Amino acid sequence: MSTTQTGTTETGTTETRFGVKGMAKIGMLSAIAIVLMLFDVPLPFAPSFYKIDLSEVPVMVGCFAMGPLAGAIIELVKILLNFVFTGTDTAGVGEIANLIIGCALCVPAGLIYKKNKTRKSALAGMAVGTVLMTAVGCIINAFVLLPTYAVAFGMPIDALIGMGSAVNSGITDLTTFVLFAVAPFNLLKGALVSLLVVLIYKKISPIFRMN
């Protein structure tokens, strides 16, 4: 798993550059990400407003192929396009939180892979990203997203917790909601995204080597 678009500076260091073709690749991956974002499915152990999608797959591909900055741009464009096409129920708070959570998965993986472009490094990066995304997701959901959703939907947080209890008897308060719904959700998403990237990256990486 190794491909990147680089340029050599006068000092001999190598840095990522985004020319017209680089931006076209970012645009292509962003378009794929927004399409994948439309196909989300609920999970049996979490309330129905938690739906999993695989839109971080092209973001992760972008991080590995063109560097973590490109991946972060793809994630940002994906969130902005989703905001334009579907609007928001949380005054943009949910979108900002999703941006942070998505980057928490993909950017660390891209940084680790950038230092040592091997399959082992890629796997380690995705594992670190999955753990970090899970931790960040739990914190943001507990202190930002759930309170925001409560206000947006005009209901107390206890009502949201009750929605969790209806599908998962282990959920009885905010802490168990995070432990038994949010954490497994993010762990599963990270694992699925990582698995798909492992399966497809070698096959599609030649596209990013084309000049």
pLDDT in tens, the chain (211 residues): 644 444 433 333 334 466 888 899 999 999 999 999 989 999 999 988 889 999 999 999 999 999 999 999 999 999 999 888 888 877 788 889 999 999 999 999 999 999 999 999 999 999 999 999 999 999 999 999 999 888 888 889 999 999 999 999 999 999 999 999 999 999 999 999 999 999 999 999 888 765 5
Rg of the chain over Cα atoms, rounded to whole angstroms, equals: 18
- Mapped onto helix, strand or coil, the DSSP state of residue 194 is helix
Q: Flag whether the pTM goes above 0.85.
A: yes
Best CA proximity match to 133, nearest among 77, 200, 206, 60: 60
Do residues 126 and 83 make contact, with C-beta atoms less than 8 angstroms apart? no
Residue 197, CB half-sphere, CA atoms under 13 Å: how many?
A: 30
> Residue 194 burial by CB count (10 A; 0-12/13-18/19+): exposed, middle or buried?
buried
Terminal alpha carbon distance of the chain: 18
> Residue type at 200?
I
Q: Which residue has the tokens 């049996």?
A: 44
**3-class SS at 51?**
strand
Q: In the chain, what are the helix, strand and coil shares in percent, each to the nearest 5?
A: 75, 5, 25
106, two tokens: 């993909």
